Amino acid sequence: MKMNKKYGILFAVLVVSVLLVFAASVGQSKEPGVEEIKIGIVAPLTGGASTTGTDMWQSAVLAAEQINAKGGVDVGGVYVPITLVKGDTETSRESGVKAVTKLITEDKVDLLIGGFSSGITYADQVVAAEHKVPFIITGASSPIVTRRTDIDTSYFFHHCPTTDDYPEATLLFVNEVVKPEIYERFNFSEDRPLRLGVLYQDSKYGEGVYEGIKKAIEKHNLNMEIVSAEKFKMSETDFRTVLTVIKESKPDVVYVAAFLNEQTLIVTQGRKDVGMNTIYLSVECNDDPDYYTGVGRWGEYSIQESRFSPYTIPSGPIHEAVEKFREDFKNRWGTSPSMMGASTYEGVYIAAEAIKNAGTLDKEKVRASLAELEMPQIVEVMQNGVINFSSDYRESKFALYMEQLIWNESVGETRPKIVWPDSIKETDFVLPDWYEPGSSPAATATATKATEECKTLWYFDEESLKCQQKEFCGMYMYKGLRTFETEEECKAALDKYLREKGEEKETPAPEEPGFEAFLTIASLLAIAYMVQRRRK
Amino acid sequence: MEPGVLIQILVWGLYAGCIYILLAIGLNLIFGVMKVVNFAHGELLMLGAYATFWIYTLSGVNPYLIIALAMIILGIIGVFIERLCFRPIKGTGKLNEIFLSLGLIYLFQNLAALLWTTDSRSIHSPYSNVSVSVGSVRLPLDYIIIILFTIVFLIAFQLFMKRTTIGRAMRATSQNRDAAALMGINVERMDMLSFALGSALAAAAGSLWLISGQIVDPYMGSIPAIKAFAVVIIGGLGSIPGAIVAGLTLGIAENVVPLFMQSFAGLLGVSMSFTAWKDTIAFFILIIVLVIRPTGIFGEKGE
């Protein structure tokens, strides 16, 4: 009897368990996405690239909030809100794989957006391919992410210019604008090929740019010669030796494929330490406020390829949209959006449009809808003004433009001005006086003479805030130095500078984080020390 | 290659060597006295650079004058690290010390990210526009100051270690801890002092690194630390002269050897860039030294 009771209890427990599991499985089998559209944002929210990652996340949040404020996305006649889920790659491949795996298997997202860094995306997209989840890649520049053959890439849509696109636009600009200026000033023969020095990061991104340079020269039959091609390890900080080697190859212009921290050091060390007074060509990821602050005056007259700038907006139909995006972003987050943020913002709108056209959250149908998508450009200028993905490698095509960094006295930093293409340019390209071309001894001698010319000027700097006169020879500049032809000009500028500085002091500037936290930590350490002593 | 170019590259190598020396000597000092391998030494360099950046931003004074203050701050932090972290686990096994210092790496990196964010920071030296002509070569004044600063510092350090009572006591502790304790030396105090001095040297290296135009971010310490470990092992664990010789060798070799390799490849008709091989060269030298002389150039058996 006792045994029967025991088995009865066991049987009851078993039945209840089975019922519970059944109920749970019924709950889970409910069509996901009926109540919400889950989008995973794959971005480096921590680690070395966390600034960019945070910007990508904030831009995506802004887009999702804007869409949700209008009721959400029309999915087969029902308006469904977007829910974003963070996928932190921690700026590493291993964590990228973990983040995408979690987004797909645990969070069960309907779609992925983001993917900063080609190397990280190359690793984590394997998981997305395996689970056949559509992925709008907005932050990886290597074309390989949609062209590799070892996985099924048909679910990947590349909404970011590739490393083939950057050099093509940049070298066409150099050929059309920079080369004629150099050749005219130094009386070079048209037959002489333009001498191009290349310094690139030893990564998929850097190698991609270098290959893109070679392809662009060949594709457009450009009269250019690569006189040096040197690479450096990612996160390198000492470029003096490699820049000295490039200088020795006597380039007319130097194309650098680097990330922001590296680019800042390359231009600064190249001009300040190595004395390579040339035109530096930079890839778009460096069109960032931190770059302008870091590079200071050494970046003056260098060239920046771009598609979304923090300080300038191309004229044309998207001008208002960009201004509104910036304003909305600033109101929401208190800062300005970056380029990667802009494409991620667009990525959310692209996803919404594709889901709306598909009328379902079925991944295969959303993929097909993305492949056939055709929608107006949003905040970045697209070729033909339309966002669509190419039928071969599912790449959207951006209309890239070139900026030149011009010194801005009022902010004490350089600011970009669009110099190409002609349809949207703000100003003409300037070949600076200190510029030194590559080979041709006669020309170099002329250039050296030009830079070593001395001139007596009035000046003031941040160290001595009074107008003084001094003889300046050759290239003489540093952050904070301002020079003038006359004493009056100098005094007027100094007055203005002091006024602005006074105003700056009155306005509470955003505080450098640190002081309070530092004191708190120091106090905690001291308390811990005292406690330990007492214990002894 | 033109002689002028070679001289210029040698100076870049000397500069790099100076940073490695300052970092490696601190590491060596801590190891010599405490027999502790501090893997978080690169993070002390990072904190030193941040200290200089922070004081410079707040005060605006000549950054070279701030180095001393940054060294004092890091010296104090070093005391806390020794008293709160390393002393309690001393003698409990090498594995504990290793994991503790690895933990400190993450702690300091995240602490710096919290205090100063992960944005890169830089400062501009007041002499960044000044160059000195040496023959046909123009060398930035900052690099000459850094090289001279390191020389002066090494002389002062040697004098401190050889001529002062504390220096002698530290050396005695380093040579034989038990005998030193029996002779009345407070070896625990020597541990604390060596950690403070090692941290201060890392701060000097970090400050000079920043002043030379480099940028600082919370994750910058790892690569210089790895190089400093290579210097310590090449020079011999616990050997100060070894660290000096190895630091200079490594700094110059990693700058010059890639160029020779490139020229050699050119002679063989192969066009190849070796400039990204800097770290490979550093560790290749390390392997060669370890194979030929496992104790390092100036190392002693048993270290």
> Which residue has tokens 């330990």?
A532
ipTM of the prediction = 0.80
Query: pLDDT tens digits, residue range B100-113?
Result: 999 999 999 999 98
> Which 304-363 residues of chain A touch chain B by CB within 8 A?
none
Chain B neighbors of A231, CB-CB under 8 A: 273, 275-276
Tell me the residue range of the domain where B64 lies. 3-117+126-292
Phi, psi (deg, nearest 5) at residue A436: -120, 125
SS3 A475: coil
Total tally of structural domains belonging to chain B: 1
Q: Would an 8 Å CB–CB cutoff place A517 in contact with chain B?
A: yes
Alpha-carbon torsion A83, A88, A94, A98, what sign? negative
Q: How many CA atoms lie within 13 A of A438 on its CB side?
A: 25
In our burial notation (b when 16+ CB lie closer than 10 A, e otherwise), range A92-101 reads bbebbbbbbb
- Tens of pLDDT, residue by residue over B116-131, are 887 788 888 888 878 8
What's B62's domain CATH number? 1.10.3470
Q: Do domains A37-161+317-387 and A453-506 have the same CATH topology?
A: no
CB contact under 8 A, B259 and A245: yes
Task: Tell which wins on pLDDT, A6 or B160.
Answer: B160
> Is there a domain that residue B299 lies in?
no
Number of residues assigned to chain B: 303
B273 pLDDT exceeds 90?
Answer: no
Tell me, yes or no, whether B16 lies in a domain: yes
The token pair at B69 is 């203050």
B128 → closest Cβ in A272, A290, A532: A272
Q: Does residue A516 belong to the interface with chain B, where contact is any CB pair within 8 Å?
A: no
Question: Which residues of chain A make contact with B273, given a CB cutoff of 8 A?
Answer: 229-231
The conformation of residue A511, written as its DSSP 8-state character, comes to: P
CB A421 within 8 A of CB A169: no
Contacts of A34 (CB under 8 A, 6+ apart): A78, A80
Non-local CB neighbours of A333 within 8 Å, separated by 6+ positions: A58, A62
DSSP codes, chain B: --HHHHHHHHHHHHHHHHHHHHHHHHHHHHHHHH----TTHHHHHHHHHHHHHHHHHHH---HHHHHHHHHHHHHHHHHHHIIIIIHHHTTS-HHHHHHHHHHHHHHHHHHHHHHH-SS-B----TTTT-EEEETTEEEEHHHHHHHHHHHHHHHHHHHHHHHSHHHHHHHHHHH-HHHHHHTT--HHHHHHHHHHHHHHHHHHHHHHHHHTT--B-TTTTHHHHHHHHHHHHHH-TT-HHHHHHHHHHHHHHHHHHHHHHHHHHHHTT-----GGGHHHHHHHHHHHHHHH-TT-SS--TT-
CATH number listed for the domain at residues A165-306+400-424 = 3.40.50.2300
- Pick B80's closest partner by Cβ from A260, A480, A525: A525
Domain ranges of chain A: 1-30, 37-161+317-387, 165-306+400-424, 453-506
Mean pLDDT for B87-112 is: 90
Which residues in chain A have Cβ-Cβ distances shorter than 8 Å to B214?
Answer: 237-238, 265
**What's the pTM value of the predicted model, to 2 decimals?**
0.75
Q: Does A479 touch chain B (CB under 8 A)?
A: yes
B138: which strand partners? Answer: B133
B143 touching A, CB under 8 A?
yes
Q: What tens-digit pLDDT sequence spans chain A (536 residues)?
A: 455 666 666 666 666 555 554 444 444 433 444 689 999 999 998 877 787 889 999 999 999 999 999 999 999 889 999 999 999 998 888 999 999 999 999 999 999 999 988 889 999 999 999 999 999 999 888 899 999 999 999 999 999 999 999 999 999 999 999 999 999 999 999 899 999 999 999 888 899 999 999 999 999 999 999 999 999 988 788 898 899 889 989 999 999 999 888 899 999 999 988 889 999 999 998 898 888 988 888 999 999 999 999 899 998 888 999 999 999 999 999 988 889 999 999 999 999 999 999 999 999 999 999 999 999 999 999 988 999 999 999 999 999 999 999 999 898 899 999 999 998 899 999 999 999 998 754 444 444 444 445 667 777 776 667 787 776 654 445 546 677 777 877 888 788 777 766 544 333 344 444 555 556 666 667 767 766 666 65
In 3-state terms, what secondary structure has residue A77?
Answer: coil
Q: Does A504 touch chain B (CB under 8 A)?
A: no
Residues of A in contact with B54 (CB under 8 A): 512, 514
Lowest mean pLDDT among A299-313, A315-329, B162-176, B283-297: B283-297
Q: Residue A268: CB partners within 8 Å, gap ≥ 6?
A: A294, A295, A296, A298, A299, B213
Poorest-pLDDT segment among A63-77, A173-187, B155-169, B238-252: B238-252
pLDDT level of residue B299 (50, 70, 90 thresholds)? confident
Give the sign of the dihedral formed by CA A512, CA A515, CA A516, CA A520: positive
φ, ψ of residue A63 to 5 degrees: the values are -60, -45
CATH, domain A37-161+317-387, list 3.30.450.40, 3.40.50.300, 3.40.50.2300, 2.60.40.1260: 3.40.50.2300
> Which of A235, A244, A294 is opposite residue B5, by nearest beta carbon?
A244
Residues 202 through 231 of chain B touching chain A, CB cutoff 8 Å = 213-215, 217, 219-220, 223
Query: Are the Cβ atoms of B54 and A232 closer than 8 angstroms?
Result: no
* pLDDT of A11: 65
Assigned fold of A453-506: Factor Xa Inhibitor (4.10.410)
Amino acid A502: pLDDT: 59
- Retrieve residue A221's tokens: 């039959």
Q: Which of residues 184-203 of B touch A (CB under 8 A)?
A: none
The rounded distance, in Å, linking the Cα atoms of B229 and B237 is: 9
Give dist(CA B298, CA B283) in Å, integer. 18
Interface of A with B in 424-443 (CB under 8 A): none
Q: Does A264 touch chain B (CB under 8 A)?
A: yes
Q: For residue A90, how many other CB atoms are within 10 A of its CB?
A: 19
Q: Name the strand (E) or helix (H) holding A14.
A: helix A2-28
Q: Do B217 and A48 touch (CB under 8 A)?
A: yes
Nearest to B120 among A240, A261, A476 (CB): A261
Angle separating helix axes B41-59 and B63-81, nearest 10 degrees: 140
Q: Which residues of B touch A240 (CB under 8 A)?
A: 8-9, 12, 255
Cα(A50)–Cα(A121) distance, integer angstroms: 15
Per the domain annotation, does B302 fall within a domain?
no
Q: Give the number of other CB atoms < 10 A from CB of residue A494.
A: 18
Angle at alpha carbon of residue A521, lines to A517 and A524, rounded to 5°: 140
Q: Is residue B298 part of a domain?
A: no
What are the strands, taking DSSP E only, across A409-527?
413-420, 454-460, 468-473, 482-484
Q: What is the mean pLDDT of residues B222-241?
A: 87
C-alpha torsion angle, residues B76, B60, A416, A382 (rounded to 10): 30
